[in-house]
C-alpha cells in the first residue's frame, strides 16, 4: 500500500531561488494494483518516487508505505520497497551474482533464504547465463534484468519502478512489462513512472497524469477515457495537461517556476 498526501518538494537552486519540482501530489496505490505516474521530462516523476523511497525528504505533505511514515521510519520503509530507477546503476566491477547477493545481505536475509529467492528471480528473468559476468561488461538489457533482481531480492511488498523500460529494445521491454504484471498477480503493490503513453494503457490499472509537479488528472484508464471523450492515451494526456504550447516549453527545459 502506498499513500501520498499533498507531497511537495522544492529544491534550492542557484541564485537563492526555489524550484518547486513537486506540488501537492496525492494518490493511493493498493496491493494487487499497478499504478502509473505519467508525465513528460521534468514533470517531477523521479522526485516523487524518490520521496516515497525515502531518498529525498519532502518539503511538504506526507507519505506512507505499508503504514510506515516515510519521514519518521525511513529504514522500515526501505525494508518494504524495491526501488528501481534510471539512476540506480549497478556496481561495474562486481558480477550480477555478487550485486544481488550484496543487496540481499544488506536486507539482512539469511544465506538460505537469499539463495532460494535468487534462484527464483534468476530463473524468471533468465540471468543465470551471465550471472558471473562483470556488470560493466553486460548489455543494457542484461543490466536492467540484474537491476530488477537486485531491487526484488528481498521480496518487497511494494515496488517502485522509475521508467523501467527506458533505453530497452522491444523484446527486453516486453519481458520487463510481463514481469511487472506477474508481480501484480502475486498481490504486490506496483508504482511505476513513464512518459510512454502506450505503456500506461497496456499495463496500468490506474494512472495519475503529472505535469509541472502537480497531478492534473487521475483515475482508472477507462475512467479517464470516458471523462475526456477519447480512447487514445496520448490524446487523454494532452487534454488533461491542457496547454500544448506549455508542454513544448517545459520539454525544452525552460523555466518551470
Ligand X SMILES: Nc1ncnc2c1ncn2[C@@H]1O[C@H](COP(=O)(O)OP(=O)(O)OP(=O)(O)O)[C@@H](O)[C@H]1O
Could you give phi then psi for residue 207, rounded to 5 degrees?
Answer: -135, 145
Q: What three-state secondary structure class fits 143?
A: helix
Whole-angstrom Cα distance, residue 233 to residue 242?
14
- The 12-31 contact track toward ligand X, x by CB under 6 A, reads -x-----x-x----------
- The 35-54 contact track toward ligand X, x by CB under 6 A, reads ----x-xxxxxxx-------
Cα 241 from chain centre: 21
The torsion angle over the Cα atoms of residues 212, 229, 36 and 164, rounded to 10 degrees, is -90
For the packed helices 111-125 and 170-185, what is the interaxial angle rounded to 10 degrees?
130
On whether the CB atoms of residues 37 and 194 are closer than 8 A, the answer is yes
Residue 104 within binding range of ligand X, rule CB under 6 A:
no
Whole-angstrom Cα distance, residue 87 to residue 103?
16
Residue 46 within binding range of Mg ion, rule CB under 5 A:
yes
**At its nearest, how many Å lie between ligand X and the CB of residue 177?**
18
Residue 151 within binding range of Mg ion, rule CB under 5 A:
no
**At its nearest, how many Å lie between other proteins and the CB of residue 221?**
29
**At its nearest, how many Å lie between other proteins and the CB of residue 192?**
15
- The 189-218 contact track toward ligand X, x by CB under 6 A, reads ------x-----------------------
Cβ distance to ligand X smaller for residue 23 or 33: 23
**At its nearest, how many Å lie between ligand X and the CB of residue 67?**
25
* Residue 85 in grid coordinates: 530507477
Which residues of this protein are in contact with other proteins, per CB under 8 A?
11-13, 50, 53, 55-57, 75-76, 78-79, 81, 83, 85, 87-94, 98, 102-103, 105-108, 150-151
**At its nearest, how many Å lie between other proteins and the CB of residue 139?**
17
Sign of CA dihedral 169, 89, 112, 128: positive
Cβ distance to ligand X smaller for residue 113 or 195: 195
User: What is the per-residue DSSP string for 13-73?
Assistant: -GGG-EEEEEEEEEEEE-TTEEEEEE--TTSSHHHHHHHHTTSS--SEEEEEETTEETTT-
Residue 85 within binding range of ligand X, rule CB under 6 A:
no
Cβ distance to other proteins smaller for residue 75 or 129: 75
**At its nearest, how many Å lie between ligand X and the CB of residue 82?**
18
User: Interface residues with ligand X (CB under 6 A)?
Assistant: 11, 13, 19, 21, 39, 41-47, 195, 256
Amino acid at each position: 500500500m502506498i499513500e501520498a498526501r499533498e507531497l511537495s518538494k522544492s529544491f534550492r537552486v542557484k541564485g537563492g531561488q526555489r524550484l518547486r519540482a513537486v506540488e501537492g501530489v496525492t494518490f493511493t496505490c493498493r496491493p494487487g494494483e499497478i499504478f502509473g505516474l505519467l508525465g513528460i521530462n521534468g514533470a517531477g516523476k523521479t522526485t516523487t518516487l524518490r520521496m516515497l523511497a525515502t531518498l529525498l525528504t519532502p518539503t511538504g505533505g506526507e507519505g506512507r508505505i505499508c503504514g510506515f511514515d516515510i519521514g519518521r521510519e525511513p529504514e522500515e520503509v526501505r525494508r518494504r520497497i524495491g526501488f528501481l530507477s534510471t539512476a540506480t546503476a549497478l556496481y561495474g566491477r562486481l558480477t550480477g551474482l555478487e550485486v544481488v547477493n550484496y543487496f540481499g545481505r544488506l536486507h539482512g536475509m539469511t544465506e538460505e533464504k537469499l539463495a532460494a529467492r535468487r534462484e527464483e528471480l534468476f530463473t524468471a528473468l533468465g540471468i543465470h547465463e551471465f550471472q558471473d559476468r562483470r556488470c560493466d561488461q553486460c548489455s543494457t538489457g542484461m543490466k536492467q534484468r540484474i537491476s530488477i533482481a537486485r531491487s526484488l531480492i528481498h521480496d518487497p511488498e511494494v515496488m517502485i519502478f522509475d521508467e523501467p523500460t527506458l533505453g530497452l529494445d522491444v523484446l527486453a521491454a516486453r519481458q520487463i512489462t510481463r514481469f511487472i504484471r506477474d508481480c501484480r498477480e502475486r498481490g504486490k503493490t506496483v508504482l511505476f513512472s513513464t512518459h510512454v503513453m502506450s505503456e500506461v494503457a497496456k499495463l496500468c490499472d490506474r494512472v495519475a497524469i503529472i505535469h509541472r509537479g502537480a497531478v492534473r488528472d487521475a483515475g482508472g484508464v477507462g475512467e479517464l477515457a470516458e471523462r475526456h471523450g477519447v480512447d487514445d492515451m496520448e490524446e487523454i494526456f494532452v487534454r488533461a495537461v491542457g496547454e500544448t504550447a506549455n508542454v513544448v516549453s517545459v520539454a525544452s527545459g525552460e523555466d518551470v517556476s
